[in-house]
């Protein structure tokens, strides 16, 4: 017995997700539909609905497939440089074209679709937050962060301005803006 059917299924799933991203970039999330993805991917819409319950769930998996590395943190021994490198990578991936508008739409969809919200949190937001807190803990253990600084709060302080700019003001997320946020955070985070 071979694993050919499983491989074909994985290839079909990958093709559907790639098509979703391509079509989403071309026509935007509002006009994206399961039917349009199915037609372009050359599959039946029932094939898509067997894997995803909604276009929000499909877009979420498609966007997460871009992030196979998980936006892992480096550990160079310099917490500010490591945070900067990781956040630059996130901003470069999701802060602007071609995927920024789709990520913004996905976060908007999460406000109306509980399953998308739960999955977005479980598979992207919480793991990234956990990685950030873990990297901050390592920095605290190395004496780079004040021993009594609330690391969960540091995570919130760090991510809040980025999401505010991306989702509320919709101003471009730039490396310079990331630098300003990090400078402000480290004003209170560094040991005395």
Burial annotation 75-109 (CB, 10 A radius, 16+ → b, else e): eeeebbebbbebbbbbbeebbeeebbbbbbbbbeb
> Alpha-carbon distance 152 to 136, whole Å?
9
Q: Regarding the domain delimited by 4-51, which CATH topology (the fold level of the hierarchy) does it fall under?
A: Arc Repressor Mutant, subunit A (1.10.10)
Q: The domain at 65-189 falls in which architecture?
A: Orthogonal Bundle (1.10)
Indicate the average pLDDT of the chain: 88
Query: Given a cut of 50, is residue 72 above it in pLDDT?
Result: yes
> Alpha-carbon distance 107 to 120, whole Å?
8
Q: What is the pLDDT of residues 115-144, one digit of tens each?
A: 999 999 998 899 989 999 999 999 999 999
Q: What is the pLDDT of residue 16?
A: 96
Q: Which of 26, 25, 34 is nearest to 63 (CA)?
A: 25
Domain range annotation of the chain: 4-51, 65-189
> Alpha-carbon distance 53 to 38, whole Å?
14
């Amino acid at each position: 017995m071979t694993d050919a059917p499983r491989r074909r299924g994985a290839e079909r799933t990958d093709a559907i997700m790639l098509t979703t991203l391509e079509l989403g970039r071309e026509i935007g999330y509002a006009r994206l539909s399961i039917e349009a993805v199915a037609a372009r991917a050359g599959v039946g819409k029932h094939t898509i609905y067997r894997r995803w319950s909604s276009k929000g769930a499909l877009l979420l998996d498609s966007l997460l497939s871009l992030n196979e590395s998980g936006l892992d943190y480096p550990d160079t021994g310099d917490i500010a440089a490591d945070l900067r490198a990781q956040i630059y990578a996130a901003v470069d991936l999701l802060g602007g074209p071609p995927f920024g508008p789709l990520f913004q739409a996905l976060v908007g969809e999460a406000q109306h679709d509980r399953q998308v919200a739960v999955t977005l949190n479980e598979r992207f937001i919480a793991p990234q937050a956990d990685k950030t807190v873990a990297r901050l803990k390592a920095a605290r253990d190395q004496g780079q962060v004040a021993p009594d600084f609330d690391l969960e709060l540091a995570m919130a302080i760090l991510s809040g301005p980025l999401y505010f700019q991306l989702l509320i003001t919709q101003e471009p997320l730039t490396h310079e803006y990331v630098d300003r946020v990090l400078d402000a955070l480290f004003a209170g985070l560094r040991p005395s």
